[in-house]
């Protein structure tokens, strides 16, 4: 957004120590999710190339055993790794076309409502994922080909789900502070980046 567009707008206030700490933690978790996606991409690519070589040269080379199950578990964990930073940065899917030109207090009111609903959803998701994690460990569930214990992927996703709950609770408080102070706190809404 140009400087001319910012005239008359209140610049966002700094996050504060809690916001900066959450941003550092969520950034590190998102980086882990990104590295996980790179590993998944490499596994998929190598597996496809191995199968192609096997077909082309009638060689005994094959794809990576269990590649599909590694991709499934890895993608699930990566998604949970990205959710907290998206919530903190106001980058989750929202309809900003209707609210981006509203005054700070009005936009914060919409954010507060959405954040409260998302907090309820994220708590329910974390609780259910916790139940699933306990069941995976109790039943000693493993993947079909590699016999990798599925509980560990669930546990990683569960940790990231509880981080999402913490971040969402913070965004609820942030929205309430924005309403009270009539000043934007933290990152600008996604439509203004």
Domain ranges in the chain?
17-184
Query: Do residues 132 and 114 touch, judged by C-beta distance below 8 A?
Result: no
In angstroms, the CA 27 to CA 81 distance is 9
Per-residue pLDDT, averaged over 35-39, amounts to 97
Tens digits of residue pLDDT in 50-74: 877 776 666 666 778 888 999 999 9
Using the predicted structure, report yes or no on whether residue 4 has a pLDDT greater than 90. Answer: no
Residue 77: the pLDDT is 97
Residues with Cβ within 8 Å of residue 61, at least 6 apart in sequence: 50, 53, 54
Residue 1: the pLDDT is 42
Residues with Cβ within 8 Å of residue 56, at least 6 apart in sequence: none
Q: Which of 45-54, 71-80, 95-104 has the least mean pLDDT?
A: 95-104
Q: Mean pLDDT in the chain?
A: 86
Tens digits of residue pLDDT in 128-169: 999 999 999 999 999 999 999 999 999 999 999 999 999 999
Q: Which helix (H) or strand (E) holds 131?
A: helix 104-138
Residue 104: the pLDDT is 87
């Amino acid at each position: 957004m140009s400087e001319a567009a910012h005239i008359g707008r209140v610049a966002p206030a700094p996050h504060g120590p809690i916001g900066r700490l959450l941003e550092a933690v969520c950034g590190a978790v998102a980086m882990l999710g990104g590295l996980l996606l790179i590993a998944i991409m490499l596994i998929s690519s190598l597996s496809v190339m191995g199968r192609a070589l096997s077909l082309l040269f009638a060689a005994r080379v094959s794809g990576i055993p269990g590649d599909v199950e590694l991709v499934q578990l890895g993608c699930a964990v990566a998604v949970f790794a990205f959710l907290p930073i998206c919530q903190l940065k106001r980058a989750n899917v929202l309809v900003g076309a209707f609210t981006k030109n509203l005054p700070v207090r009005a936009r914060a009111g919409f954010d507060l409502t959405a954040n409260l609903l998302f907090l309820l959803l994220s708590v329910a998701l974390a609780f259910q994922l916790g139940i699933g994690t306990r069941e995976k460990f109790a039943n000693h569930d493993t993947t079909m080909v590699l016999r990798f214990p599925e509980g560990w992927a669930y546990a990683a996703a569960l940790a990231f789900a509880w981080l999402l709950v913490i971040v969402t609770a913070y965004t609820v408080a942030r929205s309430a502070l924005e309403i009270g102070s009539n000043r934007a706190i933290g990152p600008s809404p996604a439509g203004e980046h």
